[in-house]
A and B are shown apart, each in its own frame.
Chain A
Amino acid sequence: MTRLAVPLVLPVAVLLLWQITAARGWLSPQTLPAPALVLSTLIDLIRDGEIATNLQISLRRILVGLAIGTSLGLFAGALLGVSRRMNDYFGPIINALSQIPSLGWVPILILIFGLDETVKYLIIAKACFVPTVLATSQGIRNIPRAYIEVGQVLGLRRRTTLTKLIVPAALPTIFGGIRLALSNAWVALIVVEMLAATEGVGYMMVWGRTLFQVDIVIAGMIVIGVIGLAMDSGLARVERRMRRWEPKNV
């Protein structure tokens, strides 16, 4: 019971503060609408299908971007982690490219690809790629030397070494990277939808701002928060399941 209640303490306090702020008029209603108004806007948006339509579009962008970004990231990260030479060749350039924030990519990508979904997928994929590469290569490189040596002493085949030793040992770090990728994907999604989209949850929020209806903006924030949390805990669950195979006490 307490374990369920504890995470709710802060949100409830914030909600209370919000309600008091709105009721006392500390901020103008145009700046911070009352919780009740946001709730009724949220219900309206759900009822007329606006949230569902936009969320469907945004989720597709997230999933495609995440799939492309993380699979490329895993592949590249594995190469960089396993091979020192690959790391010497490609490490610095990947590092340099990853320093450019997603926002910086938008103008040039629009020039090349126009306004199609390609731009959104690429921006999100890039945002997912970076943490995945870093986490994967680091996860592999940080495997204690002793494990590998034990494998060698036991005369394990390359394949066995990879599936039974390297992957399980690097998995926690890699999963950390993928979870970070997911949260990066949301950031990139909102950026790209705010700049160059005409639909999606991010666009809905920009539109809410344009219409000076902050209730729509806050409703969008709530939707993103809830979906993001659900996806992250889904990933955490997958991670736990995969780590069940890990031998205990290693």
Chain B
Amino acid sequence: MITRQIFNRLALASAIVAFSGGALLAQDYPDKIRIGDVGFGFGTPFGRGITAIADAKGFIAAEFKDKPTKIEFTYFVNTGPAINEALANNQLDFASYGAVPNTIGRANGLQTRILSSYGSTTIFAGAKAGLPIHSVKDLKGKKIAVQKATIIHWSLINSLKQNGLTEKDVTLVDLKNADQLAAITAGSVDAIYGGSFFLPLKDKGILNVIYNTAKESPKATGFGAFVVADSFQQKYPDATQRVVRGIVKASEWLAKEENRGEAFEIWGRTGVPLAVLETEFDGVPLKEAFGPLIDDFFVSQYRDVIAFNKEQKLIRNDVDFNAWAEPKYVNAALKELKLENFWARRNADGISAKPSN
């Protein structure tokens, strides 16, 4: 009889604790925040942007040190579609990926909001060694390997346009990175467009680099966004703010030239050789490459990608950028951290306005 009474009381007490505790947690902070990024490398993939820095240096975890919330990072190897799928299946709360796949996700009804810029990726074109191809103009009539429906595909079309060519002047072959390397080595294609992944082939004498967006055309440089699942942002505005603050801190850390070496070391966990990273970012200040701002340039580049997606029939429905972007978090973070004028705001053409003070 007595044991039964005790048991009942215990049960009641634990129910109250569980209920109130659960309710508190549900309203304030999630137990776990899941962040996805594009991954590279063999074995356990790792990222090579702001998110990877925030992960390695614990900038986001530090924002939650007074909370029970755990931060979990997942790197999806070379792929935007897998990130779209993970967001659709509610396996991710935040994700950092290229503008083309995240526009595709949004156009197909994925409820995301753009929080900040993930920075920029230099895109290169390489031509098979021995062929008379020295610039983008020489690509007329040639066969080019590229992974379609990526930011690289967009960059390729942009660079052709800037050089007076159109897609009709070339033959595009849709291949994944590793197959592109095989294809150019075997001579099946004349040129490839991609990130720094193919630079090692230059040292092997297989190809020449004929184009580099960082040097020749910032408007064709790869970019993308750090996005949040809309439902998460609505449910946990404060947690969202903290995550974005961590991301901005990671950007600020990257902006300091003295951290350049350490940043390369962190990105080197992807297995990308240090020399490749050095070539990739040669003459590129990381402060400029990894600014988190949603400025006029970012907006106009996104609009360009949306138009590209429609033109290439990658999306069926239109995407309204204004309804998609949610710059309030990044702006609040910049204000709190007194970094409002740290990164120069660029106009739609990519020209930096002078900081106001």
Interface residues as binary, B53-85 with A (CB distance below 8 Å gives 1, 0 otherwise): 000000000000000000000000000010011
- Check B157 for interface membership: any CB of A closer than 8 A: no
**Contacting residues of chain B (85-126) with chain A, CB-CB under 8 angstroms:** 85, 88-90, 101, 104-105, 108-110
**Contacting residues of chain A (96-114) with chain B, CB-CB under 8 angstroms:** 107, 110-114
Question: Inside 8 A of B174's CB, which chain A residues have their CB?
Answer: 198, 203
A30 touches B182 (CB 8 A): no
A-B residue pair count with CB separations less than 8 angstroms:
70
Q: Which residue of A is nearest B312, CB measured?
A: A211
- Check A137 for interface membership: any CB of B closer than 8 A: no
B188 touches A30 (CB 8 A): no
- Check A195 for interface membership: any CB of B closer than 8 A: yes
- Check A142 for interface membership: any CB of B closer than 8 A: no
A115 to B89, CA, bound (A): 35
Interface residues as binary, A201-214 with B (CB distance below 8 Å gives 1, 0 otherwise): 00100010111110
Number of A residues with CB within 8 Å of any CB on chain B: 23
A111 touches B186 (CB 8 A): yes
Question: Inside 8 A of B176's CB, which chain A residues have their CB?
Answer: 195
A107 to B185, CA, bound (A): 12
A27 to B90, CA, bound (A): 10
Question: Inside 8 A of A115's CB, which chain B residues have their CB?
Answer: 173, 175, 183, 186, 188-189
- Closest Cβ–Cβ distance, residue A36 to chain B (whole Å): 16
A219 to B164, CA, bound (A): 39
Interface residues as binary, A18-38 with B (CB distance below 8 Å gives 1, 0 otherwise): 000000000111110000000
A81 to B182, CA, bound (A): 39
- Check B149 for interface membership: any CB of A closer than 8 A: yes
- Closest Cβ–Cβ distance, residue B79 to chain A (whole Å): 9
A195 to B189, CA, bound (A): 16
Q: Which residue of A is nearest B188, CB measured?
A: A114
B81 touches A30 (CB 8 A): no
Q: Which residue of B is nearest A194, CB measured?
A: B176
B179 CB contact (under 8 Å) in A27, A28, A196, A203? A196
- Closest Cβ–Cβ distance, residue A213 to chain B (whole Å): 7
A111 CB contact (under 8 Å) in B101, B175, B185? B185
- Check A116 for interface membership: any CB of B closer than 8 A: yes
A212 to B110, CA, bound (A): 10
- Closest Cβ–Cβ distance, residue A26 to chain B (whole Å): 12
- Closest Cβ–Cβ distance, residue A214 to chain B (whole Å): 9
A135 to B225, CA, bound (A): 55
A198 to B147, CA, bound (A): 11
A212 touches B81 (CB 8 A): yes
A211 touches B104 (CB 8 A): yes
A210 touches B186 (CB 8 A): no
Question: Inside 8 A of B175's CB, which chain A residues have their CB?
Answer: 115, 196
A114 CB contact (under 8 Å) in B90, B101, B186? B186
B186 touches A112 (CB 8 A): yes
Q: Which residue of B is nearest A209, CB measured?
A: B81
A116 to B314, CA, bound (A): 26
Question: Inside 8 A of B237's CB, which chain A residues have their CB?
Answer: none
B84 touches A212 (CB 8 A): yes
B183 touches A31 (CB 8 A): no
Question: Inside 8 A of B85's CB, which chain A residues have their CB?
Answer: 30-31, 212
Question: Inside 8 A of B105's CB, which chain A residues have their CB?
Answer: 30, 212
Q: Which residue of A is nearest B179, CB measured?
A: A196
Interface residues as binary, B306-321 with A (CB distance below 8 Å gives 1, 0 otherwise): 0000000011100000
Interface residues as binary, A174-206 with B (CB distance below 8 Å gives 1, 0 otherwise): 000000000000000000000110100001000
B182 touches A213 (CB 8 A): no
Q: Which residue of A is nearest B79, CB measured?
A: A210
Question: Inside 8 A of B108's CB, which chain A residues have their CB?
Answer: 30, 211-213
A243 to B110, CA, bound (A): 56
Interface residues as binary, B160-188 with A (CB distance below 8 Å gives 1, 0 otherwise): 00000000000001111011001101111
A195 touches B188 (CB 8 A): no
A29 and B109 in contact, given A195-B176, A211-B104 (Cβ under 8 angstroms): yes
- Closest Cβ–Cβ distance, residue B249 to chain A (whole Å): 32
- Closest Cβ–Cβ distance, residue B327 to chain A (whole Å): 25
Question: Inside 8 A of B178's CB, which chain A residues have their CB?
Answer: 107
A210 touches B182 (CB 8 A): no
A-B contacts, 18 listed (Cβ < 8 Å): A28-B88, A28-B89, A28-B90, A29-B109, A30-B109, A31-B89, A107-B178, A107-B182, A110-B186, A111-B182, A115-B175, A115-B186, A203-B174, A207-B148, A210-B104, A210-B149, A212-B104, A212-B108
**A→B interface (CB under 8 Å):** 27-31, 107, 110-116, 195-196, 198, 203, 207, 209-213
The 5 closest A-B pairs by CB, nearest first: A114-B188, A30-B88, A115-B188, A110-B182, A114-B186
**B→A interface (CB under 8 Å):** 81, 84-85, 88-90, 101, 104-105, 108-110, 148-149, 173-176, 178-179, 182-183, 185-189, 314-316
With A114-B187, A198-B173, A210-B81 known, 18 other A-B pairs at CB within 8 A are A27-B89, A30-B108, A30-B110, A31-B89, A107-B179, A110-B186, A113-B186, A114-B183, A114-B186, A115-B173, A115-B188, A115-B189, A203-B174, A207-B148, A210-B101, A210-B104, A210-B148, A213-B108
